[in-house]
A and B are shown apart, each in its own frame.
Chain A
Amino acid sequence: MAEETVLTDDFLRQLINVGEVDILVGLPTHNNARTIEPVIRAIQAGILKCFPRERVVIINADGGSQDGTPELVIRASIDDVWNVSKVYALRTLHSISTRYARNPEPGTALRTILAAADLLRAKACVVVSPDSTTIEPDWLQRLVRPVYNDNFDLVAPIYRRQKFEGVLMRNLLYPMTRAIYGYRVREPYASEFAISGRLATDFLTKETWNAEWGRIGAEICLTITAITGKYRVCQSFLGTKAQPARSASDLVAAMRRTVGALFLSLDSNFPLWSAIADSQPVPTLGAQSEVMLEPVRVNRKRLREMFATGVAQLEPVLRSILSASTLSELQRIAALEVNEFNYPADVWAKTVFEFAASYHKCVISRDHIVQALVPLYRGRTLSFLLENRDGSGQDMEKSVESLCGEFERLKPYLLEVWADRK
């Protein structure tokens, strides 16, 4: 299943020593020493509390950290040799680390973890983000139990978020994935999730690993593979997700990893998604938590400026991507002042669909297409903030639901531009 290149000899030796496991906890890292200790502690506590009898291994796929991250992970081992922390455990807990050969790439890290899960015949594989400093020991149970006990194949998380966190998820990834693939998965691109051994094995055989999106957008590919492969998917409420501070350049990278991968998935899955007309809910487990309403400081004026500047400066690019009517509408919106700014849901859905179709047609460089969407997304963000500024959590949920409705309603439009656009 796994290609040899993913597993170094040393890593393979470590896997031999670990042997067959019930649960594999994957930790993709790259210079996460600052945040990883509470994550490791929570994972270890979660294992000891919720899975004391199961054979569990923590596997760190590291992208070449220089800050001692792997050493911190390895220290979480509980065995009869190194258990200096005197943590009580019924059985040995291996915590091992491998540095994968390539440069830091989330996809390669995930592939390494899944290859290990496949070799160790893990019944459940859970991946945890190394910067989830708010992780609780129970997260492990909430993610793993549905796979381990209830035969689900993919458990996506639902976080308790501040109401203006996860804007990209709420305004693009969720609505579009839902409209395209017909499953209401709130976090189709998750940094924490659990999958079954059989899904891990199946996903490993996909050709996607050799393509760029396999390396940069493997997580969303995994969700799409689960959905398109008719695997049993569910969601589990976790808790508050810490949002790491991000710069403007992070957004571009995030858009590449997520939106780019999502757009790319449409190519190979057209026969499937083109036949899906509506969406169905996904079983959701655990106690739903309220959206947090603490105020967030947002520079609305700057968002509007970035949007307007983008629309103006990228006009030649946008002209090749968007229809004339959509571009015209964007130019109209760009002229609005902050207090009257509104990027309506239907226009946003059309914008995204036209970008997806252009991506499919490769009207220009695909990477440029994704980058060109960034300023437009900022405009949509501003509109979303303004719409929900004074609303409750429920109001915001209604707003997201309404947006999803627009994406689903306009799906025939996507099919139209997908086919027609030259």
Chain B
Amino acid sequence: MSIKTKCLSRRTKVLSWTPENLLRNGLIAGRRADRYPHCYSIDVGAGGPAIIRDGTRLPLKREAGWYKDAIIYQIHVRTFFDSNSDGIGDFHGLAQKLDYVQELGVNAIWLMPFFSSPLRDDGYDISDYKSVHPSYGTLEDFKTFLSSAHDRGIRVIIEMVANHTSDQHPWFLESRSSQDNPKRDWYVWSDTDTTYRGTRIIFLDTEMSNWAWDPISKSYYWHRFFSHQPDLNYDNPAVCEEMWNVMKFWLELGVDGFRLDAVPYLIEREGTSCENLPETHEVIRELRKKVDDQFPGAILLAEANQWPADLRPYFGNGDEFHMAFHFPLMPRMFMGLRLEDRKPITEILQQTPEIPATCQWCLFLRNHDELTLEMVTDIERDYMYDIYASDKTMRLNLGIRRRLAPLLDNDRRRIELMNGMLMSLPGTPIIYYGDEIGMGDNIYLGDRNGVRTPMQWSGGWNGGFSTADPESLYSPPILNPVYGYQAVNVLSQKRTEHSLLSWMKHIMRIRRSSPVFGAGSIEFLYPANHRVLAYVRQLGKETVLVVNNLSSAAQAVELDLRRYKGNILIEMFGRNIFPRIGDVPYLLTMGPYQFYWFRLRRI
């Protein structure tokens, strides 16, 4: 059945909709669309995207807590699909691949920086916050992509590099032009490079100091990252106001939230580490209030590579960030896997404080950066290096610049187990593009570019990423016989029921089948067999038991499930029934790296 649409306003995009499409995209939750043969359209105007029914704006988007049930797919426009054969991915290309993203089963996209930039740090050096880098298309292309994503029920979170700009940003060019320029105070300047001495240097491999000399204005400017990325001065209200204007600009276009980069470093104070300062939280609370007041349902996601206890304040009383990455958990998942010991994982989660009910952790296995080892002990870091980066080329700063599949020796069982934990531990999972098909990396490319190679769509020309000459691609695709696009690509995996891609779709489908994974509580069971990580997720009457064997060998494990006596276990992947829980410890035998998700049912 087809439904007519009509244009309601200049900012209303006219679309053809079918009830099936609406249902599939969750736009009419719990209703039969064929009973609603009305006229629909999509409004991407102020206040965020919404579906319009018979002229009425339906609150289909941004229901409270949508991010808790989300599965986020992290994409860099440049790497995904090149639609104009210039060797660089673009928004038009990304829009063309949204069907793939939708089929994958994710319901949110996190876009890496796509703004105008000299690209000296892959877009994290922004020179204009309100424009799209010409290589990726135009603002109109972005809007088209955005509405296409929303059409499919996919939210879009964009990057907001708030801590610093490029040194080519007009603000900085003005600021450095003279000491009495009105924008002088938009950045952090000093006559000496000895201020804030207690502050660590993050990019140890490239930077000797957090201060850089500016020969134009003959003074030092503060930068926590590369010296071409001067830090903005958030003590200046004008900076705060302007950054809000930037955010408002994108929110009005309809984006669903921001991933705020390098959050802990917004404010500097002498005698401190210049991280996590109370004044930084004030800035964030102000932003959050404006978001809630003007764009309810839009979210803020914190990038703050900190210990859990230091991260907790970024949630405030539910009035700062909606979500924050759980950085320390990620390396410990890798550690637990190789140690065949749950201890690193349970210990860091034991140290993870409670967060407000409206908040959520973001979990990830890999992303566009190195596998950061800042939040581990020296012993743990040495272990991780020896195990996962024996070749020093793989190391960068305090981390390992590798993708998931190579880190796990391309072992399908380990890849599945890690994804199983990612999907079942408390938090919103993020999948880095390409990891769903087991893409490899190229450690011989500099910086973190080795994990930012073109998406591998097929075994054909440039892996289906671009029809440009291979030499003109922004980055060489992976070519080696194991991970190269001829061996690892979407097309071939879509044709195989047992491919990693098919399996990833399956596990995401199962995760989405129960809200317990996104919003449920967690209680660890501590079976005496330390190779087995077991926990119970619970939400209302729904209870799911998760059991992970971290060992490369088969294991027997006894679980104390007496409190669930009388329940039967239903294995969620195969829907097979397991014996009823009784008074004695529940014995499970598990194959190497096997994991179970059981729904508990009292029948």
Contact = CB atoms under 8 A, between A and B. Distances in A.
Interface stretch (A86-94, A137-145, A159-167): A86-94
A53 B527 CA distance: 22
Contacts of A14: 528
Given A16-B556, A53-B383, A80-B342, A92 B530 contact: yes
A387 interface: no
B350 interface: yes
Interface in A8-47: 13-14, 16-17, 19-20
A369 B342 CA distance: 57
A90 B379 contact: yes
Given A90-B380, A94-B530, A19 B339 contact: no
B343 A17 contact: no
A19 B555 contact: yes
Contact of A91 (B343, B350, B524, B526): B343
Interface string B508-526: 0000000000000000101
Interface size class of A (residues with CB under 8 A): 10 to 19
A122 to B, nearest CB: 15
B343 A80 contact: yes
Closest 10 CB pairs of A and B: A17-B528, A92-B530, A80-B346, A17-B529, A91-B341, A81-B526, A91-B339, A80-B343, A92-B343, A92-B341
A202 interface: no
B414 interface: no
B377 interface: yes
Given A17-B530, A19-B531, A90 B551 contact: no
Nearest to A89: B343
A315 interface: no
B394 to A, nearest CB: 19
B379 A19 contact: no
Interface string B343-366: 110110010000000000000000
Interface of B: 335, 339-344, 346-347, 350, 377, 379-380, 383, 524, 526-531, 551, 553, 555-556, 558
Interface in A78-113: 79-81, 88-92, 94
Contacts of A64: none
28 contacts: A13-B528, A13-B558, A14-B528, A16-B529, A17-B527, A17-B530, A19-B340, A19-B529, A19-B553, A20-B553, A53-B339, A53-B383, A55-B340, A79-B343, A79-B530, A80-B342, A80-B343, A80-B347, A80-B350, A90-B339, A90-B344, A90-B379, A90-B380, A91-B339, A91-B341, A92-B342, A92-B343, A92-B530
Given A53-B383, A80-B350, 11 more contacts: A14-B528, A16-B529, A17-B528, A79-B530, A80-B346, A80-B530, A89-B343, A91-B343, A92-B341, A92-B530, A94-B530
Contacts of B350: 80
A92 B339 CA distance: 9
Interface of A: 13-14, 16-17, 19-20, 52-53, 55, 79-81, 88-92, 94
Contacts of A92: 341-343, 530
A16 B555 CA distance: 8
Nearest to A88: B377
A52 B343 contact: no
Contacts of A16: 529, 556
Contacts of B347: 80
Nearest to A52: B379
Nearest to A53: B383
A90 B529 contact: no
A90 B556 CA distance: 23
Nearest to A94: B530
Contacts of A13: 528, 558
Contacts of B343: 79-80, 89, 91-92
B525 to A, nearest CB: 10
Contact of A90 (B383, B524, B528, B531): B383
A14 B339 CA distance: 19
B559 to A, nearest CB: 12
B563 to A, nearest CB: 17
Contacts of B339: 53, 90-91
Contacts of B529: 16-17, 19
A79 B532 CA distance: 13
A94 B383 CA distance: 20
A164 B335 CA distance: 51
B472 to A, nearest CB: 46
A20 B529 CA distance: 11
A14 B527 CA distance: 11
Contacts of A20: 553
B524 to A, nearest CB: 8
Contacts of B340: 19, 55
A14 B530 CA distance: 11
Nearest to B335: A90
B556 to A, nearest CB: 5
Contacts of A53: 339, 383
Contacts of B556: 16
B290 to A, nearest CB: 42
Contacts of B342: 80, 92
A81 B343 CA distance: 9
Contacts of B530: 17, 19, 79-80, 92, 94
A126 B426 CA distance: 42
Contacts of B346: 80
Of the candidates A13, A19, A52, A81, the one having the most CB atoms from chain B within 10 angstroms of its own CB is A19
A13 B526 CA distance: 15
A56 B88 CA distance: 52
Nearest to B556: A16
Nearest to B555: A19
A8 B335 CA distance: 33
B258 to A, nearest CB: 36
B526 to A, nearest CB: 4
Contact of B526 (A19, A52, A55, A80): A80
A355 B527 CA distance: 56
A19 B342 CA distance: 13
Contacts of A81: 526
A14 B350 CA distance: 25
A53 B384 CA distance: 11
